[in-house]
Amino acid sequence: MNALKMVLETTSQRTYRNIDSNQCPGCPSNLATKLVMNVVFEVCAQRGQQPIVFGQGCGIGRNFLQRSGIGTHDSACVALRAAMEIRGVDRPVVVIDGDG
């Protein structure tokens, strides 16, 4: 809920894209995540969608998620979708979860 609130409170309501926080620049896990994220953002741009993207992994959004209290497992995804529906937010949610 906190992540959704923070995104929606910005002027542009766009997601903040900081995939690896410049950690472990040669890490294959981070490189793969960057590729996946680029594909997600390109496809959503073509469709005119602005996704809400969150994830947890080795350096991939972990600090943000731990501060906000959002996990990426089933119950958190269901809670995020329910909160969006209650607030009338119609945006795709992309979840990336994994560890290096």
| Domain membership flag for residue 20 | no
| Domain membership flag for residue 94 | yes
| Domain membership flag for residue 67 | yes
| Domain membership flag for residue 43 | no
| Domain membership flag for residue 18 | no
> What pLDDT digit, counting tens, does each position of 51-93 carry?
776 655 554 444 444 444 445 555 667 777 788 888 888 887 7
| pTM (predicted TM-score) | 0.45
> What pLDDT digit, counting tens, does each position of 23-47 carry?
566 666 666 777 777 787 788 889 8
How far is C-alpha 27 from the geometric centre of its chain's CA atoms? 19
